[in-house]
Amino acid sequence: MSVCHCRECQTRSGSAFAVQARWPEADVAITGAFTEWSRTGDSGTRTTFRFCPTCGSTIGFVGERMPGMMAIPVGAFADPGFPAPPISVYEGHMHPWVAVVGADIERYD
């Protein structure tokens, strides 16, 4: 699980950051209808997002940068007890008022 502060995640999530949990794509089953949208990120790799066609919520996404992995937004679980993320990425894009706390968090600019 990670916190991402990249500008694309900020725009897509409508927040100062996005939090996602990741599992091997083969271990994730999405049932029901979804639509897809793909884009190339600032890393130069393509990511495909899967959305609920009714409400537009992100169900999950897969990308070339992490082949074989599925990322699911933590908010989709609606579980306030969901574990805290161990990784924070794109901290160079973090809003100055955001504080990601925790001594054991891996940090990447």
Q: Is beta strand 87-89 parallel, antiparallel or unpaired with respect to 58-63?
A: unpaired
Query: Whole domain around residue 36: which residue ranges?
Result: 2-107
pLDDT given for residue 5 in this prediction: 64
pLDDT given for residue 2 in this prediction: 66
pLDDT given for residue 33 in this prediction: 94
User: Nearest-CA neighbor of 45 among 67, 23, 60?
Assistant: 67
Name the pLDDT band for 1 (thresholds 50, 70, 90).
low
Question: Do 74 and 83 form a contact (C-beta atoms < 8 A)?
Answer: no
Average pLDDT, integer, range 80-108 = 85
Q: What is the CATH number of the domain that holds 96?
A: 2.170.150
pLDDT tens readout for residues 30-83:
899 999 999 887 778 899 999 999 998 889 999 998 899 999 988 888 898 988
If one counts the domains in the chain, the total is: 1
